[in-house]
């Protein structure tokens, strides 16, 4: 498993604003999208391409285009939706699927409650989007789900991660082809399983709480 922690002043700046408890939901959503586009640049470094021939205004030349089958982007509901637009702006030809995974706040165990994915992911590059890699349970469940459908490689993109979460993913994947791209690596988890210093509940801060 490969782990890439972004090291860029713009990413650190935007994460600082996200962490601030006074940042409003509209600003939080906008910055999450911007951060995702910056992280997507790193996440797609090894996206598959194939050679093609084009006509420029001057001559015929060769370039590359995104190869088939197209990459599959999978936001983990609900908070992962806030990252989707930033990813598809950079990779507009990608297909999009969805996974709904909820964490039991008592046991911290994940449960899959919804999915909208192709039945067969053979030979597909998949990009899983989940803002917070805390205990790692939800993302690990999502990665396992994608490999069980036949995916050959999975890149997971998170705004924040923890050493505990990274270890949980590494324990799961074994020798399978997995890359983690993180905006930052935080200190760890508190007794409730929240990232410290973190930024709170990403879903609530993106969309507010439902009464």
Q: For residue 18, what are its two tokens?
A: 């996200």
Closest CA to 116 of 85, 141, 157, 149: 149
Active site residue 120: no
24 vs 17: CA distance, rounded Å: 10
CB 159 within 8 A of CB 129: no
Catalytic residue among 23, 29, 78, 204: 204
Catalytic residue among 107, 111, 116, 123: 107
Active site residue 201: yes
117 vs 105: CA distance, rounded Å: 26
CB 169 within 8 A of CB 136: yes
Catalytic residue among 20, 104, 120, 201: 201
Catalytic residue among 103, 152, 176, 177: 103
Closest CA to 131 of 198, 44, 43: 198
- Residues acting as catalytic residues: 103, 107, 201, 204
């Amino acid at each position: 498993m490969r782990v890439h922690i972004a090291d860029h002043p713009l990413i650190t700046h935007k994460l600082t604003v996200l962490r601030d408890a006074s940042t409003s939901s509209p600003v939080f959503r906008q910055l999450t999208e911007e951060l995702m586009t910056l992280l997507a640049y790193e996440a797609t470094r090894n996206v598959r391409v194939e050679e093609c021939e084009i006509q420029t205004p001057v001559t015929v030349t060769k370039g590359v285009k995104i190869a088939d089958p197209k990459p599959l982007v999978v936001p983990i509901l609900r908070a992962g939706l806030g990252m989707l637009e930033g990813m598809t702006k950079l990779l507009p030809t990608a297909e999009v699927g969805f996974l709904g995974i909820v964490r039991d706040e008592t046991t911290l165990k994940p449960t899959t409650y919804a999915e909208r994915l192709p039945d067969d992911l053979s030979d597909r590059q998949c990009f899983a989007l989940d803002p917070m890699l805390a205990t790692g349970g939800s993302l690990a469940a999502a990665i396992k789900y994608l490999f069980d459908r036949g995916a050959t490689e999975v890149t997971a993109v998170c705004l924040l991660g923890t050493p505990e979460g990274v270890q949980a993913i590494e324990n799961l994947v074994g020798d399978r082809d997995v890359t983690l791209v993180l905006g930052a690596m935080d200190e760890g988890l508190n007794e409730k399983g929240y990232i410290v210093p973190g930024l709170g509940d990403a879903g609530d801060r993106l969309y507010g709480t439902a009464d």
